[in-house]
Amino acid sequence: MRLEIPPDHPRAESLRTREELVHYWKLGVVADAGLIAHGRGEAFDYLLGEETTAPAREATWAAAAHLLLAKRPVISVNGNAAALVPSELVRLSRVVGAALEVNLFYRSRKRLKAVAAVLEGAGAKHVLGVGGRGRGGAAIPELSSMRRMVDVEGIFAADVVVVPLEDGDRVEALKRMGKLTIAVDLNPLSRTSQEATVTIVDNVVRAIPNLTSTADELKGAPASKLRALVGAYDNKRVLGASIGLIAKRLAVLSKTSATTEQVPVVKRARR
């Protein structure tokens, strides 16, 4: 049974998201550790003001340009991403012509199927990484976690991989394979954020719809414009800007000695 959340609760949106995750955890889509990872994300979202920041927008433009320039883009989907943004991921895959592939750290046949079923329920026609040829089709070299198992037609052959809620090891391994990675991670300090080609420091519930609409807007733009966008982008600089925003916000808040109820920014976009 899902919890009734009063619409006027000051943190209604955040509570609804938690309920969604718990619901999918009970169905075996979200791993136990996925709930903990979400808590870490929420903490950073709080620090960022729970809204899409200017550095996140800049990263989104570069990410959209990379996806439109890619020959074989793939979106890697784990339990949390499937629980939080299933139809948004399907929409993104259509707009940029990317394949959807299930890839799990806590991997079991049952969970792979459960995550794929959520994507299919959201309209995905073909999900890679589960069953058939995708069954352990290939492995990422020098990676010990179960996330090394990839589809030969998907991540293994991809040139650009979208990795929402990823772990740092695999981003490094994908980089060694010559792939470009687009991470979505609320923690600008994580190894994932630091290692990815482009990191969108934002909540996945805001970042994926923003990425889709930005890609839609850029579709049809000349390749020279897309190349200029990716050429001008520097992930370290943009991550530094996200960290700077947190520092500035904390400096302001520390001076007001306000309680969280008095802090002005608590906005949360709905998917």
Residues at the contact surface with ligand ATP, assessed by CB under 6 A:
37-38, 40-41, 44, 84, 165, 167-168, 184-187, 190-192, 203-204
Pairing of strands 149-150, 160-164: unpaired
CB of 262 to ligand ATP, least distance (A): 26
Q: How far apart are CA 242 and CA 234, in angstroms?
A: 13
Q: CA–CA separation, 127 vs 93, rounded Å?
A: 11
What is the rounded distance in angstroms from the CA atom of residue 112 to the CA atom of residue 79?
9
Which residue's CB is nearer to ligand ATP, number 155 or number 165? 165
Residue with Cβ nearer ligand ATP (175 or 191)? 191
Smallest gap from residue 133 Cβ to ligand ATP (A) = 28
- What single letter denotes the amino acid at residue 39? G
Contact 163, 180 (CB under 8 A): no
H-helix segments, the chain: 12-26, 32-48, 54-69, 79-84, 86-96, 109-121, 168-176, 191-195, 204-218, 223-231, 235-256
Give the Cα separation of 270 and 206 in Å (integer): 8
Least separation in angstroms between CB 16 and ligand ATP: 13
- Looking at the Cβ atoms of 130 and 165, the one nearer to ligand ATP is 165
Q: Which is nearer to ligand ATP, 200 or 226 (CB)?
A: 200
Q: In what order do the strands lie in the sheet with 180-184?
A: 127-128, 99-102, 73-77, 160-164, 180-184, 198-200
Angle between helices 32-48 and 12-26 (to 10 degrees): 160
CB of 204: closest distance to ligand ATP in angstroms?
A: 4
Cβ-closest residue to ligand ATP?
41
Residue (173 or 226) nearer to ligand ATP, CB: 173
- Least distance to ligand ATP from the beta carbon of 230, Å? 22
Nearer Cβ to ligand ATP (104/215): 104
CB of 37 to ligand ATP, least distance (A): 4
